[in-house]
Structure 1
Amino acid sequence: MRRDAPLAQVPARYLSALVQRLESEGFDTAAALAQAGIDRSRLDASEAWLTRSEQIAALQLLSHGSQRSDLGFLMGLSINLGRVDVVGQMLLNARSLHDGFQRLAPFFALVTPAVRMQVHADAAGLRSRFSLAHPMPYDVAVMVLEAVVVAAHRLMRFIRQERSTPCQLLLAWTAPSHAVQYRGLSGANVTFGLGGTPEAELRLSAEVADEALPMADAAAMVTAERRCAERLDELKALRGLGAWLRWLVYATEERQPTQAEAAALLGVSERTLSRLLVAEGTSFGRLSRQVRHDKACELLAQPALSLAAVAHRLGYTDLSNFSRAFKALAGGQTPGEYREVALRRTPPGG
């Protein structure tokens, strides 16, 4: 049975940290979160997850509403990679940054499944490359990668128990208006504007990469690495379930699959399915509504389809029901209004 899907999930903890930081500085995040279809209370759950579309919408809306270019940098200052459960323990117990980063790379999905980490070592030192695991808008990609490199720099300082960590940060994007904030990354030599696809590279000299770390513990490392492998298997299983359900809802045309039907296809009870989805921080109803909304946005961008045809393909019995459901997740925007904006953004023949 096919178990892939057009959508993936990301942990909510990073958006939660950013929201808390913005709120502590007096910015009201409620409107942006509501427009992104995110209930503020969801961000308070320790194991909450968001769809990629929810995260993308929230970051763009928060950036626009706050009129700030530095949300990625701020997110990196607000999160602590060393506290990401078993991943943090593995890094804290590493013999060196070289040892820790090479062990971290295969488990980076535990930090965030949105970013891929690749590590290469040679006589010159250690290069850690961060790139996108999934496509996303360029502005959001920059925010996500910026958060990762800033958090990584903070983590190195903590692990080494030094105020400064000599390193190079090579960033694909052009220098932002808040570039001066990078001066606060003690020891970092930052280069912007390398061009190409969004990515970032962290370089350490061999001397820094291989320096013995003060909290190294070989026995604890073995335990932490085993737990990381177990946690990654659990994450894949949970995300596999969510991915399959998203695909089921997305692929079904002209009707709405029910939770009972989904449970029957999986060979579990509805109660068991509900429990598994709660562990993912969602529910069948919420998942179904979001996937159908995302599919609606795709269909509305096709001018050949009438609004009634879009509603029919999504399984709505009439246009008014579709309109109400769409407006609930689009901050009050009607399907017709969304289409008008979407078509204006699409170049002729695009």
Structure 2
Amino acid sequence: MSATPPPSRPAPAQPRRVPVRYFVLLLDLLRSQGTDVAQLLRMAGVEAERLTQRGATLLPSEIEAFVSSARQLTGRTDLGLEMGRLIKMNSHELLGFGMLSCRNWGEAMQLVARHYHLMTETFSLRYRRIGGGVGEAVYTPLTAMPLETLRFYYEVLAVAHQNQVHLMLGGQEPAYDIYLSMPPPPHAQRYLALGPARFHFDAQALPGVRVLMGADLLDHALAMADANVVREVDERCTALGQRPPAGETGWGDYVRMLLRETPGRLVTLEDLAQRIHVSPRTIDRYLKKEKLQFRSLAERVRFELACELLGEPGATVTQVALQLGFSDSANFSRSFRRVIGITPSEYQQRPRTAATPSA
């Protein structure tokens, strides 16, 4: 089975959107549990009428406001998990019908990866077979977003993947692994009930969700297979429009977000290029259009994080050095002084209200 062609480069000229239908699922659940959904929408600045409009979408800023308002109003940390559990094949309209008609889950993954922008424009999906029959699906953010929103998305995507595998294979799926680039959430124990999928949390991994599935899962025959239906759905999805074109701005914010999400790892330009499926030269070229260089941007982000960590109560220079991937505190202190102008210890002695020195 051939690998799906890599997605187009990130950072679009126009804001990336998400169909409102996925968020309606979560709103309906919260309403049934007693949440004042009208108040939630007012807090998020989203008009209730849009929830009933076919084809309506949400902007990234609206999704951020929605996630923040929902957590504030409910006090819950598991909203991403809950939303992921509600997403089924028919949640995707035409594309979901195509999934149900595929011969096996591997073919369904290929179909979805070709048209993933119809599900969301904020993440890309790459699917490929990587040897030994193992399949790899990687969901990667395509735009900068707050940490709270990013981790909400990770849980939605990871659990939605698990839920749809479970439904498509009739509960007969073998064990497989899902990796989320975030620390274990407060409700991590709930993931144990989603077996045989095994969930792994790693805050130092490159941003995204990675799923590894064996051939026994990917090649499991599906009951409703119909090649003619899959072909028709594929053609109709293609007619709905290609993946949104990428723009020439926003790369600085996007790369900065990816770097901030990997604080304990020295991420290279090649690492990022491989993860988002473009060449290092492409990233470098677009950063230069914004008068940025990857090396200086990475250094700036690293020491912005250092300043934040040093400002936390009880933080020590050694702890921060190890957390940021330095081999020892002396090396960290020399680098910190070169970039910030003072030593880490001197920085910690500054008044808390003082601005972080610019790198």
State whether TM-score is above 0.5: yes
Matches within 5 A, 1:316-331: none
Paired residues of 1:157 and 1:165 also in contact (CA < 8 A): no
One-letter identity of the residue aligned with 2:91: R
Q: Indicate the percent of aligned positions where both proteins have the same amino acid.
A: 25
Q: Paired residue for 2:63, among 55, 59, 69?
A: 55
The number of aligned residues is 242
- Once the two structures are TM-superposed, the CA of residue 164 in structure 1 deviates from its matched residue by 4.5
- Once the two structures are TM-superposed, the CA of residue 81 in structure 1 deviates from its matched residue by 3.5
1:345/1:99 Cα in 2 relative to 1: closer, same or farther (>3 Å)? farther
Aligned twin of 2:188: 179
Aligned twin of 2:238: 229
Question: Using the alignment, how far apart are the partners of 1:345 and 1:105 within structure 2?
Answer: 47
Whether 1:211 aligns to 2:220 is: yes
Whether 1:27 aligns to 2:50 is: no
One-letter identity of the residue aligned with 1:17: L
1:86/1:6 Cα in 2 relative to 1: closer, same or farther (>3 Å)? closer
Q: Paired residue for 1:129, among 138, 145, 157?
A: 138
Q: Give 5+ residue unaligned stretches, structure 1.
A: 244-343
Q: Paired residue for 1:120, among 121, 128, 131?
A: 128
One-letter identity of the residue aligned with 1:205: G
Aligned twin of 2:116: 108
Question: Using the alignment, how far apart are the partners of 2:115 and 2:151 within structure 1?
Answer: 22
Q: Paired residue for 1:11, among 9, 19, 22?
A: 19
Aligned twin of 1:337: none
Calculate the aligned-residue CA RMSD, in Å: 2.5
Aligned-partner SS, 2:190? helix
Aligned-partner SS, 2:115? helix
Paired residues of 2:89 and 2:96 also in contact (CA < 8 A): yes
Aligned-partner SS, 1:31? helix
Paired residues of 1:81 and 1:152 also in contact (CA < 8 A): no
1:193/1:54 Cα in 2 relative to 1: closer, same or farther (>3 Å)? same
Aligned twin of 1:90: 98
1:37/1:52 Cα in 2 relative to 1: closer, same or farther (>3 Å)? same
Question: Using the alignment, how far apart are the partners of 2:54 and 2:91 within structure 1?
Answer: 12
One-letter identity of the residue aligned with 1:116: S
Aligned-partner SS, 1:232? coil
Q: Which has the higher helix share?
A: 1
Question: Using the alignment, how far apart are the partners of 1:345 and 1:231 within structure 2?
Answer: 52
Paired residues of 1:156 and 1:165 also in contact (CA < 8 A): no
State the 4+ residue runs in structure 1 displaced beyond 4 angstroms.
Answer: 344-350
- Once the two structures are TM-superposed, the CA of residue 184 in structure 1 deviates from its matched residue by 2.4
Aligned twin of 1:160: 169
- Once the two structures are TM-superposed, the CA of residue 347 in structure 1 deviates from its matched residue by 4.8
Aligned twin of 1:255: none
Q: Residues 9-45 of structure 1: CA distance to partner in whole angstroms, max 9, x if unpaired?
A: 2211122211111111111133332132111221222
Q: Give 5+ residue unaligned stretches, structure 2.
A: 1-11, 248-352
Aligned-partner SS, 2:121? coil
Q: Residues 292-318 of structure 1: CA distance to partner in whole angstroms, max 9, x if unpaired?
A: xxxxxxxxxxxxxxxxxxxxxxxxxxx
TM-score (norm 2): 0.62
Whether 1:66 aligns to 2:74 is: yes
Paired residues of 2:137 and 2:210 also in contact (CA < 8 A): yes
TM-score (norm 1): 0.64
Question: Using the alignment, how far apart are the partners of 1:165 and 1:7 within structure 2?
Answer: 39
